[in-house]
Structure 1
Amino acid sequence: PASLWRPALLLYPLKLARATAPRCQLRLEWIYGYRGHQCRNNLFYTAGKELVYFVAGVGVVFNTREHTQKFYLGHNDDIISLAIHPDKIQVATGQVGKDPYICVWDTYAMVTVSILRDVHTHGVACLAFDSDGQFWTLCGNALTPKRGIFGKTGDLQTILCVSAAKEELTYSGALNGDVYVWKGVTLIRTIQAAGIFSMHACEEGFATGGRDGCIRLWDVDFKPITKIDLREAEQGYKGVLAPPLPVPLRQSAIRGVMVRDRDKPILLMQAHSEGELWALALHPKQPVAVTGSDDRSVRWAGPNSLRESLFTCSSSVLSHLSSLTGPLSPVLSHRDMTEVVHVKDRKEVIHELKFSPDSSFLAVGSNDGLVDVYAVSQRYKKVGECRSSSFITHLDWSVDSRFLQTNDGAGERLFFRMPGTHLMFSFRADAKGIHWMTWTGVIGPEVNGIWPKYSSATNVNSVDANYSSAVLVTGDDLGLIKLFRFPCLKKGLSKFKKYIGHSAHVTNVRWSNDLQWVISTGGADHAVFQWRFLPEGVMNGVLEPLLQGNIIFGWVPDGL
């Protein structure tokens, strides 16, 4: 078991604590996620039969045979578009932001080939290479578009997807469900289909997917071959490929479909869908994480895999152990995710909850400014109530389950004797004799160093201490994962290492039960990142070049 923090660590040399960042490292090992909403045609096979796609601010190359991932980290905001070069090796990705740019990168070496800047504003929504592998052709110093001529062949429609074919033919999916066939810029015929959202062309013909939840295969003349109905599995498709068909779904899942086994789709990637992701809990004895989000699902993640949703909630999931953004607190069995009991004592949002180390009590903190304490052995009967002046943001139990410390929205750190309602003290000097089982609070002298000198008290959303290695991991509103020494005492002066990948605010970070991994969740990118912890002296990766400043590091996966 990990050694527990003792108050004597407050004697940690301040000069060393602020002079150097920790010598240990984090290395991105796995990402549970795929952006299936607000994007189309963003999943491709590379020349090596690996899947390439994106999630958050990371380009992912997924080897489904070996179940490994490689990562491209050249973006600083959400990636929203992707195109693959005809050589199936290079890809281009475009992002959102005030000054968005396009990265062209190699899917084998995972290195940048080129960066295109100063062209777009707000975001790069769509990308394509031409048949020669070029992005666009300039006429003089400007792009010269040509309008399609609809004539009387078809109605003017919003075009959802497009695919080029031989003999100067182009096929496009229209909003009304038809496929428009173009010769040059002239519409020559229409084909009735069912709301095609995405289209892929290959030598054998075409594959399409759309609003009816079906994949359709067509020959080179766009005559139907067969239909694969997956509506019973998931609804709404955002793109298809061939062969075999990896089907990206609106619910941020990827399924592999073989035509000969069309009734047996293979789940390749499963994650949370549109909405913010906040809830995260790590199993105390197994390498398992549970997450919950605004998509009203609770998902169970084992090593390098995220299971199907096993519990669907009536409203979004916000707090750390899968309570709801409302007054209801369901307690779920870790074996099969069935509901054991639910409690309704509050009117406001529940933000935080934790079981005591001896499993006797469950503490639940809400926006009412209250922590309700329940006795587990009495079928979660309420046995205590702790009052604060503002909404509860973080809480931690003492090792002996006798004390609870809380952080609230007013910036207060309070201490309570359990299981009663007695506010024991609010001064850190009185807490020196208490040994805390976890440290997830953002307030206190032990974590002053996580705050930039002039930052507000809301920039850091989550922290978690690793007592054994004397380090602290944080997640903040800038989308950064930071690694500090613990304790870190001096505001604005504590050195750290930071890691990129999440494109929006990082809502939660937690150490695994064996302290070998850090799990982080992204709010708007609704992605779950798994980071391998490399203690000092265990550096089995290759450091990337310095990104900026003198404290930011990244890692290239082994074997590159």
Structure 2
Amino acid sequence: MDGFAGSLDDSISAASTSDVQDRLSSLELRVQQQEDEITVLKAALADVLRRLTLSEDQTASMRKSSPGKGQPALREAYSLSCITNGSPMTRKPMHSSALSVARKETLASAAKSYGLKELKNVKRGATIERSQSSTWEGSEENRNKLLRAASTSKLISKHKNAEKSKEPIVSQAQSSRRGAYSQEGDMIKMFMRGRPITMYIPSDVTNYDEIKSELPSEKLKLEWVYGYRGRDCRSNVYLLPTGEIVYFVASVVVLYNVEERTQRHYLGHTDCVKCLAVHPDKIKIATGQIAGVDKDGRPLQPHVRVWDSVSLQTLQIIGLGTFERGVGSLAFSKADSGTHLCVVDDSNEHMLTVWEWQRKSKIAEIKSTNEAVLAADFHPTDPNAIVTCGKSHVFFWTWNGNSLARKQGIFGKYEKPKFVQCLAFLENGDVLTGDSGGIMLIWARTTVESTQGKGPKGVYQISKQIKAHDGSVFTLCQMRNGMLLTGGGKDRKIILWDHDLNPEREIEVPDQFGAIRAVAEGKGDQFLIGTSRNFILRGTFNDGFQVEVQGHTEELWGLATHPSKDLFLSCAQDRQVCLWNSVDHTLEWSKILDEPGHCADFHPSGVVVAIGTHTGRWFVLDAETKDLVSIHTDGNEQLSVMRYSPGGDYLAVGSHDNFVYIYTVSENGRKYSRQGKCTGHSSYITHLDWSPDTKYIMSNSGDYEILYWDIQNGCKLIRNRSECRDMEWYTYTCVLGFHVFGVWPEGSDGTDINALCRSYSKKVVAVADDFCKVHLFQYPISKPKAPSHVYSAHSSHVTNVSFTHSDGHLISTGGKDTSIIQWRVAEKAPLPLNDSSLEQNAPLSPSAGPTENSPVS
């Protein structure tokens, strides 16, 4: 009887324990849901404050800058919607709270933490800080005031006073690398790699010494970024609670609001952004970049930037001098509310470091493995546990103090994969991995305890294997409701799995978009997909996919702007030809050519566009229907420039076979007949321009020649170049010539400047250089060491620049970064007298959709 009673007691005790565990699990889930709701509220509040501030600033700006009677109203508003490039600045670390559980902070403290602190003046910092961040510094008194504050207006006023920005970088004469020159009578000699280049001074220049080089009054403002880096990255697309999609391309991190068709840009990085992580509060972002080299050969160190996605202010820069080659993976901790950050670099040893990022303090560091590391993440409930995976391995890490201990996952009876591509955590704390064989493995932690300080608590062992995809499992996405999304590489499938990891639904991404590289949860039942062909798709299982972002996938050189519409065309080595709308920021059409495209030009009527390729063939397409109009071949080498004459009666084709081919054009650009060939260059053609009367051509070549051609008299070379000193040019894209030689850096090998374009107004010249920069000079640039405004956004050599037909925008293309960047051209408006509320160096306008593209007075 006693035995029966004892057994009954044990059963009751076991049932009671089970009931307690169930209740605890239920409470944990409920707390997590409440924390998620609070996170969304925090983000929404911060975004509302930003928008209110922007609205008030625009109203105040227009009111204070209202002109007198008879003057047009100044409609250009000042805002902080996009951080423009500027002078180096650093940010002081923020004081962190002693509380271990930051999730208990109130909405008031959340508002205080995200950019509503008083602005303090700071000294210029390290040159690595390129974004125009202001320094935020809050005292304990300010914190208490904000906690007591019930007025939104007080918060907004504090935020508004802090939103200030710096000027673009200015390339100045005394600090530049501009070249060696000499004046000899009526000509200027410029030396490039020791070779003299002679340029004759125009007759109307009576005193060359009196010519001054000044900065242009016009400036550039980054307005839109076309493209996404998906081809060689992973897990780099996320939806923020504000409704913005965050992703990156080149050195720009883009925050794109799909519904409002607006972009904001974080511009703090100095080279290619390679990875991205979102803080548990869904407001702070961490992004890592690769190493680079500036134009003077100085190294640009790889590092991680932590920044605020609402204010776009840099919060911390981590790892300068620590990481090698680049940052491959990074993740915020979750169990301690994002206090720590783990980073894996791209060195041979793939160093794993753990940082207390707010204090910029490295806590632990250890060699990870000599094999590729593809993902790293913190355990959601164990603050001291990290998991990494990559080529043929899964590592489970624990850090105690400043030491990291590693346990390797043992595959045992299961086939060891070539690559473990991704990882995620299940609701019960188990680890889920996806590998190159299409398998998902569940790693459950045992209760075995290791010796104190000698290693991780418990050991992870495979408890279940699931065949998920044909080909690799490339990405895993744990959803808010506990279900799972997986993305396949080869089969291009998105599969939804229930809580027991049974497949519920699936959908296949169409082949033209490429393989899946990133999956993120979207609004409602939507999800976001990043692909290997640089698409970002938004889709549902019921309705399929919609393209939100797209771009080129291989090196990009060809660019042409429409002569009368807000359109521009790009072509690249991926054989894609794309026609873009610069107002709506959308793709009008795209077409795949038989060969890689390299250069393009619109007929002056805008009806057709000519595209040159790498093989000597060139195509003429109908600009509206993209139908093929004509095909021609000139030689078998790369075509470097296509240029229609001002009236559209001729087409000049510059080739790498050293010739310029001249065609007569009729039937409004639909019929072509070769008229002649310009023979005389000793190297490949790089650039050419027509005279306004269509009689002459000026051309540059790879060996720095400037030659002039008489087209009307049989394409003859004009041997006495002094006769051409007073010639006018309808366009100016040649990079060598008296009117533009001041753009060249000292000691150049002739490849430092890739492209040049004079505005239609003939007031400014835009330059694309080999050091990822876009320059804006005042035209003409006929003096050495001319100053310029310098802008950064590309992370590769800038291959081309072109003004739109109204001079309202400049388009620039990146080579290896495959990005297209649209800049707004704006002349700096004078400030009203006795008005100190508007800083002279404030940003010019928000990066907005077409409704906000107001003309600049």
Residue among 341, 344, 361 paired with 1:135 = 341
Deviation at 1:150, TM superposition (A): 2.3
Say which SS state the counterpart of residue 314 (structure 1) adopts: coil
Tell me, yes or no, if the aligned pair for 2:616 and 2:639 is still in contact at 8 Å. Answer: yes
Change (3 A) 1:420 1:189: farther
User: What is the rounded CA distance, in whole Å, between the counterparts of 2:223 and 2:206 in structure 1?
Assistant: 35
Residue among 180, 199, 218 paired with 2:476 = 199
User: What is the rounded CA distance, in whole Å, between the counterparts of 1:199 and 1:439 in structure 2?
Assistant: 51
> 1 or 2, which has the higher helix percentage?
2
User: What is the rounded CA distance, in whole Å, between the counterparts of 1:46 and 1:277 in structure 2?
Assistant: 30
User: What is the rounded CA distance, in whole Å, between the counterparts of 2:548 and 2:203 in structure 1?
Assistant: 48
1:505 alignment counterpart: 797
Where do 1:507-522 residues align within 5 Å?
507-522=799-814
Tell me, yes or no, if the aligned pair for 1:22 and 1:483 is still in contact at 8 Å. Answer: yes
User: What is the rounded CA distance, in whole Å, between the counterparts of 1:539 and 1:459 in structure 2?
Assistant: 37
Where do 1:142-541 residues align within 5 Å?
142-184=403-445, 185-194=460-469, 195-204=472-481, 205-211=483-489, 212-243=491-522, 244-262=526-544, 265-273=545-553, 275-303=554-582, 304-307=584-587, 310-321=590-601, 322-377=611-666, 379-387=671-679, 388-425=681-718, 429-468=722-761, 470-491=763-784, 493-537=785-829
Q: Percent identity?
A: 32
Deviation sequence 1:458-477 (CA, Å, 0-9, x none): 10000001252611100010
Tell me, yes or no, if the aligned pair for 2:678 and 2:717 is still in contact at 8 Å. Answer: no
Deviation at 1:435, TM superposition (A): 2.2
User: What is the rounded CA distance, in whole Å, between the counterparts of 1:93 and 1:47 in structure 2?
Assistant: 18
Change (3 A) 1:310 1:156: closer
2:262 alignment counterpart: 68
Tell me, yes or no, if the aligned pair for 1:153 and 1:188 is still in contact at 8 Å. Answer: no
Tell me, yes or no, if the aligned pair for 1:406 and 1:413 is still in contact at 8 Å. Answer: yes
Amino acid at match of 1:528: I
Change (3 A) 1:464 1:143: farther
2:323 alignment counterpart: 120
Instruction: Give the stretch that moved more between structures: 421-430 or 447-456.
Output: 421-430
Q: Unmatched 5+ residue regions in structure 1?
A: 1-5, 546-552
Deviation sequence 1:468-493 (CA, Å, 0-9, x none): 261110001000000111111222x1
Say which SS state the counterpart of residue 329 (structure 1) adopts: strand
Deviation at 1:391, TM superposition (A): 0.5
Deviation at 1:68, TM superposition (A): 0.7
Tell me, yes or no, if the aligned pair for 1:499 and 1:554 is still in contact at 8 Å. Answer: no
Tell me, yes or no, if the aligned pair for 1:203 and 1:220 is still in contact at 8 Å. Answer: no
Runs (4+) of structure 1 moved beyond 4 Å? Answer: 6-16, 542-545, 553-556
User: What is the rounded CA distance, in whole Å, between the counterparts of 2:260 and 2:405 in structure 1?
Assistant: 45
Deviation at 1:230, TM superposition (A): 2.2
Instruction: Give the stretch that moved more between structures: 201-210 or 426-435.
Output: 426-435
Change (3 A) 1:538 1:80: farther
Change (3 A) 1:306 1:271: farther
Q: Does 1:84 align with 2:84?
A: no
Deviation at 1:538, TM superposition (A): 7.4
Amino acid at match of 1:500: S
Tell me, yes or no, if the aligned pair for 1:297 and 1:311 is still in contact at 8 Å. Answer: yes
User: What is the rounded CA distance, in whole Å, between the counterparts of 2:474 and 2:716 in structure 1?
Assistant: 58
Deviation at 1:107, TM superposition (A): 1.2
Change (3 A) 1:405 1:348: same
Deviation at 1:74, TM superposition (A): 0.9
Say which SS state the counterpart of residue 732 (structure 2) adopts: coil
Residue among 81, 95, 103 paired with 2:289 = 95
Tell me, yes or no, if the aligned pair for 2:760 and 2:805 is still in contact at 8 Å. Answer: no
Deviation at 1:456, TM superposition (A): 2.2
Deviation at 1:558, TM superposition (A): 6.3
1:548 alignment counterpart: none
Deviation at 1:287, TM superposition (A): 1.0
1:105 alignment counterpart: 307
Tell me, yes or no, if the aligned pair for 1:323 and 1:329 is still in contact at 8 Å. Answer: yes
Change (3 A) 1:12 1:30: farther
Change (3 A) 1:420 1:370: farther
Residue among 237, 240, 263 paired with 1:43 = 237
Amino acid at match of 2:322: V
Tell me, yes or no, if the aligned pair for 1:197 and 1:238 is still in contact at 8 Å. Answer: yes
Deviation at 1:455, TM superposition (A): 2.0
User: What is the rounded CA distance, in whole Å, between the counterparts of 1:422 and 1:24 in structure 2?
Assistant: 38
Deviation sequence 1:296-344 (CA, Å, 0-9, x none): 1101110243427632112211123421101211111111111111111
User: What is the rounded CA distance, in whole Å, between the counterparts of 1:171 and 1:419 in structure 2?
Assistant: 73
Amino acid at match of 1:368: D
Instruction: Give the stretch that moved more between structures: 105-114 or 141-150.
Output: 141-150
Say which SS state the counterpart of residue 87 (structure 1) adopts: coil
User: What is the rounded CA distance, in whole Å, between the counterparts of 1:51 and 1:153 in structure 2?
Assistant: 38
User: What is the rounded CA distance, in whole Å, between the counterparts of 1:226 and 1:367 in structure 2?
Assistant: 54
Tell me, yes or no, if the aligned pair for 2:831 and 2:840 is still in contact at 8 Å. Answer: no
Tell me, yes or no, if the aligned pair for 1:45 and 1:88 is still in contact at 8 Å. Answer: no
User: What is the rounded CA distance, in whole Å, between the counterparts of 1:512 and 1:434 in structure 2?
Assistant: 24
Change (3 A) 1:556 1:173: farther
User: What is the rounded CA distance, in whole Å, between the counterparts of 1:91 and 1:374 in structure 2?
Assistant: 54
Q: Does 1:29 align with 2:227?
A: no
TM-score by length of structure 1 reads 0.91
How many residue pairs get aligned? The number is 542
Tell me, yes or no, if the aligned pair for 2:710 and 2:718 is still in contact at 8 Å. Answer: no
Deviation at 1:537, TM superposition (A): 2.1
Deviation at 1:152, TM superposition (A): 2.5
Change (3 A) 1:85 1:428: farther
Say which SS state the counterpart of residue 316 (structure 2) adopts: strand
Q: Unmatched 5+ residue regions in structure 2?
A: 1-200, 293-300, 343-353, 355-363, 365-399, 446-459, 602-610, 833-837, 849-857
Deviation at 1:203, TM superposition (A): 2.1
Instruction: Give the stretch that moved more between structures: 387-396 or 151-160.
Output: 151-160
User: What is the rounded CA distance, in whole Å, between the counterparts of 2:278 and 2:597 in structure 1?
Assistant: 36
Tell me, yes or no, if the aligned pair for 1:278 and 1:320 is still in contact at 8 Å. Answer: no
Tell me, yes or no, if the aligned pair for 2:797 and 2:814 is still in contact at 8 Å. Answer: yes
User: What is the rounded CA distance, in whole Å, between the counterparts of 1:323 and 1:12 in structure 2?
Assistant: 42
Say which SS state the counterpart of residue 499 (structure 1) adopts: strand
Tell me, yes or no, if the aligned pair for 1:357 and 1:401 is still in contact at 8 Å. Answer: yes
